[in-house]
Structure 1
Amino acid sequence: MHGEYKVVGGKMVVADLEVREGKLADVRISGDFFLEPAEALTDITAALEGLPAASTSEEIITALDQGIPAGTALVGFSVEAIAIAVRRALGVAKSWRDFEWQVIDTEPMAPAMHLALDDILARDVAAGKRPPTLRFWQWDRPAIIIGNFQSLKNEVDLEACERLGVQVVRRVTGGGAMFVEPGSAITYSLYAPAELVGDMDFAASYAFLDNWALEGLKGVGIDAFYKPLNDIASPKGKIGGAAQKRYAGGMVLHHATLSYDMDAAKMMQVLRIGREKISDKGIASAAKRVDPVRSQTGLPREEVIARMIGTFQTMYGATPGALSADELTRARALAAEQFETEAWLTRVP
C-alpha cells in the first residue's frame, strides 16, 4: 500500500506499508524532508510498526510522539503529515482526486444571495445532493461583509455606507470585515467533504484548502504564500483572507476574498479599522494593507479568475458546473429569511 502527502509550503512524505492480521507491517517512510538525527527515521518506522490498521490519525500521532526521541528535528514535515500519508496508504484518508469536483462561476448577485448560496450549497454537498464544488462569486453592488462574531457598530460606519451606497451584510463564518465592489475583488468558496481535511488541525486545513489558489496566483506572476492563520500574502503585502465553517454531516465551507483593484480611500470611509489592528500589522496606514492583484499581474480580473480555475482543474480534475433552479430558489428564500434581515445583521450590535 502506498500513500503520499505534500505538506503545504513544506516537503513530501511517502508511506509504503502492508497490513498483516489487521496491523501495519513493513512500514517504510520516505520523502524529500529533513530529519535530524537521521537515525530517527528508524524510530519513526518502529513507532508505526504493529499499529492496528484501524488506528485513527490521533492514535498514529500519539504513537509517533511517544516513539520519536526528544530533541528530534522534523524539518519540512510533521508527525501529522506522517499520519496523513499512512492513512492515505490505507485508503482511509482522502485526497482531492478522490472526489469529483465541479467549478461554478456565478453571475453577478446581491451579497445576501451569495451568503445564502454558501449555506445552501454547503448543506447540499453534506447531504450528497451536489458534488464537492468550487464557486467564484460576482458582486452586483458595493458591500461590506462582516464576520459572524463582529460588532456591527465597531466595524462599520453605517452613515458613510448609506451615503456611498454600500450594503452591509453578515456572513456565517468568523474572521474580519471585507469591503468589495463590482470588479474589485476575487471571491471564491469551496464546499469540501470534511474527509479531505479530517487528519489536519484547524490551522493546517486553511493553508491546505487554499494551496491551489497560491499555485494559481504564482501562475500569473505573484509570489504568493500563506500567512497563518488565514491570510494570503505576497512580498508586497497582504492580498486576501479566508474563513471557514464546519457543518454537521461532514462538510467544510471555506471561502476567501482577494483584492484585485480595491478603492482604499472608500474602504477607509466605510470600515472602522482600529489603530490596534493597524499597529499589529506594523504599518502606518490601513490603506497600505491593500495590495491589489491587478498591480502585480497587469492582467484583467476575468483572466486571473480563468487562470485560477484552470489551475484548479489541472490539479484536481474538476469539470464545469452550474447552479440549479432549485438551488437558486432556496437561496432566494434563505436570503429573505436570514441574510437580508435586520435581526441577523445586528445579532452582534
Structure 2
Amino acid sequence: MHGEYKVPGGKLVVVDLDVTAGRLTNVRVAGDFFLEPDEAILRIDAALENAPVDTDTAGLTARINAALPPSAVLFGFTAESVAVAVRRALARATDWHDYAWELIHEPPQSPALHMALDEVITAEVAAGRRPPTLRVWEWDAPAVIIGSFQSLRNEVDLDATARHGVTVVRRISGGGAMFAEPHSTITYSLAVPEALVSGLSFADSYAYLDAWVLTALGDMGIKAWYQPLNDIATEVGKVAGAAQKRMVGPDGGPGGVLHHVTMSYDIDADKMVDVLRIGKEKLSDKGTRSAKKRVDPLRRQTGLPRETVIDKMIDSFRARYGLTRGRVTDEELARARDLVRTKYENDEWTARIP
C-alpha cells in the first residue's frame, strides 16, 4: 500500500507498507523533508513496524515520538504527518493526479441556483456519474450566503438586505456568513470523491483542498496560507473563507466532498457590515476591532482584473492536475432548478433556524 501527504506549508511525506495478519509490515517512510540524525528515519520505520492496522493517527504519532531520540530534528514534517500518510495508505486514498478533472465555468446564475448546483454536482461525483469537478461561479445578483447551522436573524440584517437588493440564501455546508457581489467576489467549488481525503482529519482536509489555490495566489505574487479552520490569509488580511459538506454515496457507500471557497476581489466593506451582523465576539476572536479590516481584497494585492485572476487560478490548477472544459448537463440543471423551487428559495429552508 502507498500513501502520500503534503504537509501544509511543508514537505511531502510518502509511506509504503504491507499488511500481514492485521499488522503493518515492511514499512518504509520517505519524502523530501529534512531529518537529523540520519538514522532517525530507521527508528520511524521500526516504530511503525508491527503496529495494528486499526491504530489511529494519534496512536501512530505516539509510537513515532517515543522512538525518536531527544536530539532528533524534523524539518518540513512531523510525526503526525507520517501517521496521516500511513492512514491514507491503509484507506487506499487517491491523489489529485488519479482523476480526469472537469471545469465548469458558465454565465451568471442566481444565488439559489448556485446552492442547488453544488448539491447536485457533488451528489453526482459521489455516485460516480461525474468526474471530480472544479466549478467557478458567476453571480447574477448580490447575495448573503449563510451557513447551514446559522440563525438567520442573528447573522443578517434583513432590512439592510432589502434596502440594498441583496438576496439571502442558506447553503448546505456549515461555517459563517459570506457577502458576495457579482464583480467583487470570486467563488469556486470542488466536488471530489471521498477517497481523495481519506485518512485526513476534517481540519486537514481543508488545508489539503486549499493547497492548489495557495500556489495559484503565489504565482500572482501573493504569499497566502491556510489559517485554521477555514480561512485563507495573507500578511495584510483574510482573502477567502471555505466551507465543506460530506455527502454519502449510493447505498451508504463512499461518498463525495463539497469544498467551496468565497474570495474577496474588491469588497464593498461598508455594505458588508450593513447587511451582516458581525458580533464583537467574532471580531475579538479574529484579533481585530473592525469587520472592514478583517478582509483585504485581491484587487488591491494583485492589481489584476477579476477575470485575469480567475484565468490564472484555472491555469494553475490545469498545469498541476489537468483540466478539461465541461458543462452542467441538462439533467443536472433540471434537478438543480427543482431544488431551487422546493428548497433554496423556500423560507422553510432559508429560515429553518430563524
Q: Give me the TM-score of the superposition, normalised by structure 1.
A: 0.91
Amino acid at match of 1:66: R
Percent identical: 57
The structural deviation recorded for 1:18 is: 6.3
Question: Residue 247 of structure 2 aligns with which residue?
Answer: 247
Q: Which moved more, 1:95-104 or 1:68-77?
A: 68-77
Change (3 A) 1:328 1:79: same
**Is 1:231 the counterpart of 2:228 in the alignment?**
no
Change (3 A) 1:38 1:156: same
Give 1:295-314 correspondences, 5 Å limit: 295-314=300-319
Amino acid at match of 1:135: R
The structural deviation recorded for 1:309 is: 0.7
The structural deviation recorded for 1:17 is: 5.1
The structural deviation recorded for 1:116 is: 0.3
Cα distance in 1 for residues equivalent to 2:264 and 2:34: 36
Deviation digits for residues 67-97 of structure 1 (CA, Å, limit 9, x no counterpart): 5417676543234432454466679221111
The 8 Å contact of residues 83 and 199 in structure 1, kept in 2 or not, is answered as no
Question: Residue 327 of structure 2 aligns with which residue?
Answer: 322
Amino acid at match of 2:166: V
The structural deviation recorded for 1:137 is: 0.7
The 8 Å contact of residues 56 and 87 in structure 2, kept in 1 or not, is answered as no
The structural deviation recorded for 1:61 is: 5.8
Give 1:108-257 correspondences, 5 Å limit: 108-249=108-249, 250-257=255-262
The structural deviation recorded for 1:272 is: 1.1
Amino acid at match of 1:5: Y
Match of 1:69 among 66, 70, 75: 66
The aligned length equals 346
Match of 1:343 among 335, 342, 348: 348
Change (3 A) 1:153 1:86: closer
Change (3 A) 1:91 1:238: closer
Cα distance in 1 for residues equivalent to 2:28 and 2:20: 15
The structural deviation recorded for 1:11 is: 1.6
Amino acid at match of 1:314: A
Q: Which moved more, 1:260-269 or 1:283-292?
A: 283-292
The 8 Å contact of residues 64 and 79 in structure 2, kept in 1 or not, is answered as no
Deviation digits for residues 256-282 of structure 1 (CA, Å, limit 9, x no counterpart): 100001111111111111122222222
Task: Give 5+ residue unaligned stretches, structure 2.
Answer: 250-254
Question: Residue 264 of structure 2 aligns with which residue?
Answer: 259
Supply the RMSD in Å over aligned alpha carbons.
2.4
Deviation digits for residues 138-184 of structure 1 (CA, Å, limit 9, x no counterpart): 11001100111111111111011111111111111111111111111
Q: Which moved more, 1:31-40 or 1:282-291?
A: 31-40
